[in-house]
C-alpha cells in the first residue's frame, strides 16, 4: 500500500509516519509537506535513508504541485494532516494562511484524489469544530459544528468539503476528530511543550485567563493508532471521534509539569485571556471503540512523564525550532499580553 501523508513533517504527521513505517514492513509513504515553521525534517531523520519513505516538498494548495505528486506516485490512500494548526496564530497573525491551506488545500487534494481514483481519503480533523461545552456532557459525532475561532472555522469548512466530495462525487472519505494531542516533536507554541520549554529555562509559564479551561488530552501515539484503524477499517462517509477521557483544567496540567521538572509554582503567570477562548472540550469516543475496537494504550500520567523526559533528552531539537522566527513570534504574542495583575 502506498499512502500519501500530507503534513508528515509536523508533529502528529511525523509521529504517524513513524508509526506506519515501524508497524508495516511493506508500507510505502509519500510525505508531502511544504515545510512551514511547524514542519521540521529533524522529526524524521531516522527515516532519511529508508527507501519506503519519500519526502516531497510541495504545497497542498497548489494544483500543479499536487498534480505532480499524484502523477509521479500511484497513491492508494491519502491521510491529510497538512494544516495551519495553532489557534493563537489564527487570531493574532490572521486567518488567510489558514483559509488557503485548511480549506482551499483540502479541496485541491480532494479533486486530485477523485481524478486519480484514490481508494480512500482520511481527513484529520479536530474536536474544536464542535465549539465549546458547558459544565456537562461531551462531544459526539452528532454534535452540531459550531467553531469559535478562525482555525476551528477552517477545519469545520474542510470537514464539510470532505463530506461533500463523498456525497456528490463518491470519493471514499472518512473524517477523524481528535482531542488535544501531546508527545514528542510537538512545536513549543502549544500548551504542553511551551510550558515544558519555559520551565526548563526557569521562565514564567503564561496561563490564559483563570487557567480553568478544560481540554481532553491524548498521547500522540494513541491518536496515530486510532487513525491507522480508521484508515483500514472505518466505514466510508463516517466521522470518528478520538479521545482518551482525560479532560482536566489547564492549571492541573501546568502544575503537573512543574512537579515533574521540580520547578516552583511561582513560575505560573496569569496572562490576558485568548479571545473567544473555548471553555471546555470533552470527547465521547464510544463509536471508534465499539465499532472498530480501538483503545488508547497509555495513561495520562505515564504519557506526560515520557513527554517531559523526551524534551529533556532533546534540548538540541528544542533549541533549533526556537531559533530566529520563534523569538519574534513569542515576543509578539506574550510580550503584548503581559501579566494580569
Ligand atoms: P503541525 O502544525 O505540527 O504540523 C502541520 C504540518 O503541515 C507541518 O509539517 C507543515 O509544514 C505542514 N503544512 C502546513 N501547510 C501546508 C501546506 N499548505 N502544504 C503542505 N504542508 C503544509 O500540526 P499538528 O499538530 O501535527 O496537526 C496535524 C493535523 O492534526 C492538523 O490538521 C490539525 O488540525 C489536526 N489536529 C491536531 C491536534 C493537536 O492537538 N495538535 C488535535 C486534533 C487534530
Ligand atoms: P493549545 O495547546 O493552544 O491548544 P487548543 O487551543 O487547540 O486547545 O491550548 C490548550 C489550552 O491551553 C487552551 O485552553 C489555551 C491554553 N494555553 C494557555 O493557557 N497558555 C498558553 O501559552 C497556551 C499556548 C495555551
Residue 167 scores a pLDDT above 80: yes
- Predicted local distance difference test score (pLDDT) of residue 326: 80
What is the Cα–Cα distance from 282 to 274, expressed in whole angstroms? 19
pLDDT tens figures, 178-211: 999 999 999 999 999 999 999 999 999 999 999 9
Catalytic residue list: 127-128, 151
- CB 176 within 8 Å of CB 232: no
The residue to mutate among 191, 268, 274, 326, having the most atoms of ligand 2 within 8 angstroms of its beta carbon, is: 191
Q: Is 227 in the pocket of ligand 1 (CB under 6 A)?
A: no
Q: Is 234 in the pocket of ligand 2 (CB under 6 A)?
A: no
Query: Which residues are registered as beta bridge partners of 270?
Result: 207
User: 325: pLDDT confidence band, cut at 50, 70 and 90?
Assistant: confident
Query: Residue written as cell 490572521?
Result: 94
Q: Is 158 in the pocket of ligand 1 (CB under 6 A)?
A: no
- CB 300 within 8 Å of CB 179: no
Which atom of ligand 2 is nearest to 189's Cα? 24
**Average pLDDT rounded to a whole number, residues 254-271:** 98
Q: Is 330 in the pocket of ligand 2 (CB under 6 A)?
A: no
Ligand showing the shortest atom-to-Cα distance for residue 80: 1
Residue 337 scores a pLDDT above 80: no
pLDDT tens figures, 81-139: 999 999 999 999 999 999 999 999 999 999 999 999 999 999 999 999 999 999 999 99
- CB 257 within 8 Å of CB 55: no
Q: Is 13 in the pocket of ligand 1 (CB under 6 A)?
A: yes
The residue to mutate among 38, 132, 205, 250, having the most atoms of ligand 2 within 8 angstroms of its beta carbon, is: 250
- In this structure, the residue with its CA closest to atom 36 of ligand 1 is 126
What is the Cα–Cα distance from 19 to 13, expressed in whole angstroms? 10
- In this structure, the residue with its CA closest to atom 17 of ligand 1 is 59
Q: Is 11 in the pocket of ligand 1 (CB under 6 A)?
A: yes
Ligand showing the shortest atom-to-Cα distance for residue 204: 2
Q: Is 82 in the pocket of ligand 1 (CB under 6 A)?
A: yes
- In this structure, the residue with its CA closest to atom 4 of ligand 2 is 190
What is the Cα–Cα distance from 140 to 130, expressed in whole angstroms? 9
Ligand showing the shortest atom-to-Cα distance for residue 88: 2
The residue to mutate among 179, 190, 204, 251, having the most atoms of ligand 2 within 8 angstroms of its beta carbon, is: 190
Percent of the chain with pLDDT over 70: 99
3-state secondary structure the chain: CEEEEECCCCHHHHHHHHHHHHHCCCCEEEEECCCCCCCCHHHHHHHCCCCCEEEECCCCCCHHHHHHHHHHCCCCEEEECCCCCCHHHHHHCCCHHHHHHHHHHHHHHHHHHHHCCCCEEEEEEEHHHHCCCCCCCCECCCCCCCCCCHHHHHHHHHHHHHHHHHHHHCCCEEEEEECEEECCCCCCCCHHHHHHHHHHCCCCEEEECCCCCEEEEEEHHHHHHHHHHHHHHCCCCCEEEECCCCEEEHHHHHHHHHHHCCCCHHHEEEECCCCCCCCECCECCHHHHHHHCCCCCCCHHHHHHHHHHHHHHCHHHHHHHCCCHHHHHHHHHHHHHCECC
What is the Cα–Cα distance from 157 to 338, expressed in whole angstroms? 33
Which atom of ligand 1 is nearest to 180's Cα? 40
Q: Bigger pLDDT: 166 or 330? A: 166
- Domains annotated for the chain, with CATH where assigned, are 2-182+218-246+280-297+325-337 (3.40.50.720)
Distance 266 CA to ligand 1 centre (A): 33
Amino acid at each position: 500500500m502506498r499512502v500519501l501523508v500530507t503534513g508528515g513533517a509536523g508533529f502528529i504527521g511525523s509521529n504517524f509516519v513513524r508509526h506506519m513505517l515501524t508497524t508495516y514492513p511493506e508500507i510505502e509513504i509519500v510525505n508531502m509537506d511544504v515545510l512551514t515553521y511547524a514542519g521540521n525534517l529533524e522529526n524524521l531523520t531516522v527515516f532519511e535513508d529508508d527507501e519506503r519513505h519519500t519526502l516531497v516538498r510541495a504545497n497542498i494548495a497548489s494544483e500543479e504541485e499536487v498534480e505532480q505528486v499524484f502523477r509521479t506516485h500511484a497513491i492508494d490512500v491519502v491521510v491529510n494532516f497538512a494544516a495551519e494548526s495553532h489557534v493563537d496564530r489564527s487570531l493574532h497573525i490572521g486567518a488567510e494562511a489558514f483559509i488557503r491551506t485548511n480549506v482551499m488545500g483540502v479541496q485541491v487534494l480532494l479533486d486530485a484524489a477523485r481524478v486519480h481514483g484514490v481508494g480512500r481519503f482520511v481527513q484529520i480533523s479536530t474536536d474544536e469544530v464542535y465549539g465549546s461545552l458547558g459544565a456537562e456532557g461531551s462531544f459526539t459525532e452528532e454534535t452540531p459544528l459550531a467553531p469559535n475561532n478562525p482555525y476551528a472555522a477552517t477545519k469545520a469548512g474542510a470537514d464539510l468539503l470532505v463530506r461533500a466530495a463523498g456525497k456528490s462525487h463518491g470519493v471514499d472519505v472518512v473524517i477523524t476528530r481528535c482531542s488535544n494531542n501531546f508527545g514528542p516533536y510537538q512545536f513549543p507554541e502549544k500548551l504542553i511543550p511551551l510550558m515544558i520549554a519555559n520551565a526548563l529555562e526557569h521562565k514564567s509559564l503564561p496561563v490564559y485567563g483563570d487557567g480553568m479551561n478544560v481540554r481532553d488530552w491524548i498521547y500522540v501515539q494513541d491518536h496515530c493508532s486510532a487513525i491507522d484503524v480508521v484508515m483500514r477499517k472505518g466505514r466510508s462517509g463516517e466521522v470518528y471521534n478520538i479521545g482518551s477521557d482525560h479532560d482536566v483544567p489547564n492549571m492541573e496540567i501546568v502544575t503537573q509539569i512543574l512537579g515533574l521538572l521540580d520547578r516552583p509554582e511561582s513560575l505560573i503567570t496569569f496572562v490576558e485571556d485568548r479571545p473567544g477562548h473555548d471553555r471546555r472540550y470533552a470527547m465521547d469516543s464510544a463509536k471508534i471503540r465499539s465499532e472498530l475496537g480501538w483503545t488508547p494504550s497509555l495513561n495520562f500520567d505515564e504519557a506526560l512523564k515520557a513527554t517531559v523526559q523526551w524534551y529533556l533528552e532533546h534540548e538540541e531539537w528544542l533549541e533549533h525550532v526556537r531559533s530566529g522566527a520563534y523569538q519574534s513570534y513569542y515576543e509578539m504574542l506574550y510580550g503584548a499580553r503581559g501579566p494580569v495583575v
